[in-house]
Structure formats: C-alpha cells, structure tokens
A and B are shown apart, each in its own frame.
Chain A
C-alpha cells in the first residue's frame, strides 16, 4: 500500500519564527489534506489540497502531485500553533475509500 512520510518528526520554534513541514507519498493520490491535532485530540482541517497552492492567513500549502510531495508553511508562529500536524492522502487505487495518514510532525512553539 501507499507509504506516507512526514518530516521533521519534531520541531521546536520560538514564537514569531517560520517553518516548513513536508509530506512525501509513494504513489498517486486523489486527495490530500493537512490537519492540526490539538491537545484534546480534535483534528482541525487546515487544507484540502490535492494539487496547487492555497493560503489561509499565516498558513499556506503547496502540493506537487506529479512529484508526490506536499509542503505546509507556517509563518510568524504562535504558541497556539503547537500540536501535531498530520498529512493524510487518499490513494488513487482506493478511489473514494479512505485516508492514509503520515506519522505526524510534533510542533512546539515557545513564548
């Protein structure tokens, strides 16, 4: 089955710093989503981005489907950005079926 890798596994930043999180996947996908999991376990939708570039405030994301990777950019980080960031892909051979999650990047933003 498809493999999803995320890097780095852990990231510690000072408030105000910028960061880039990466998601690599091993096969073609129909969909890709980025989530932020807060300390209470809620998965919060950040981007639905099977291809192209999107921006939402201080966050932006780019997916290059032909090269099988996606990047999540966080600018001017805040302590509330802390948590685990997951990339999830819907494999093309499981069209409409389910998401495969990466292992996550744990972000800690220090005041």
Chain B
C-alpha cells in the first residue's frame, strides 16, 4: 500500500514565476490538506480539499490555490512567487470513512521549494 506521495521532491523557481506541486493520497483516503513549513518552524495549514471542493483555508493569500481531482489527488498552485515562499510544502491525507471526521492523517515526504 503506497503512502502519500508528492512530486517533485525539490524545485527551484525564480521570483514572479508560478509553480504547481502534486500529491497523491494514501489508498482509501479522500481528504487532502496542504501545509507550508518554513525552516525551523512547525507546519502551517494552507487549505484542505474534500469532494473536489476547498473545505477550509488557512491564513494564506489568494496566490495560493488548489485543486482536487476525482481520484482524490490534489495540486497546489502558487502564483507570483516571492522569496518568502521558499519552504517545505507538505501534503497530508485522511478520511475515507464518509461521515466520519476523526481519522488519522498521514503526510508525504514533502516538496522543498526554493525561490531565487
């Protein structure tokens, strides 16, 4: 059983460019959440997708957007990259039991984004 997989593992972009990160959830999970982790800090919640809709959003600007596909995989898009967007981006999957919320979350290995 494959766990949560993210691609790419590393990425270097120039300020002002756009980037797309991808996540495939753990088998049987239907909910995907994205987190940003700056160096030396804990992960910060960006947004969560369930049934192809953004269910909740953290305190991040509209430059951060996402999408969930019918197979539950998800993308995180960041437009107009800033130097401060350099971070480890983590994807978590959970759920899979329709109507039940209390399920364990599992994280992917992350995508390390560097903006130069």
| Cβ contact within 8 Å between B56 and A97 | yes
Closest to B47 in A: A98
Given contacts A30-B101, A33-B104, A97-B56, contact A41 B109 (CB under 8 A): yes
Of B13-21, B38-46, B66-74, B76-84, the stretch lying at the interface with chain A is: B38-46
Judged by a CB distance under 8 angstroms, whether A45 is at the interface is yes
Number of chain B residues close to chain A: CB under 8 A: 25
Within 8 A of B (CB), among A60-106: 86, 88, 94-104
Option from A31, A43, A95, A103 in Cβ contact (under 8 Å) with B107? A43
Are B101 and A48 in touch, CB under 8 angstroms?
Answer: no
* Shortest Cβ gap from B97 to chain A (Å): 11
Cβ-based interface call for B23 (8 A) = no
Assess the A103–B42 pair: CB atoms within 8 A. yes
Within the assembled complex, what's the spacing in Å between the Cα atoms of A104 and B42? Answer: 6
A residues in contact (CB < 8 Å) with B? 30-31, 33, 35, 40-43, 45, 48, 50, 86, 88, 94-104
When A and B form their complex, which 10 residue pairs have the shortest distance between CB atoms, in order from nearest?
A: A96-B101, A101-B42, A43-B107, A48-B104, A98-B45, A97-B56, A41-B110, A42-B109, A101-B43, A41-B88
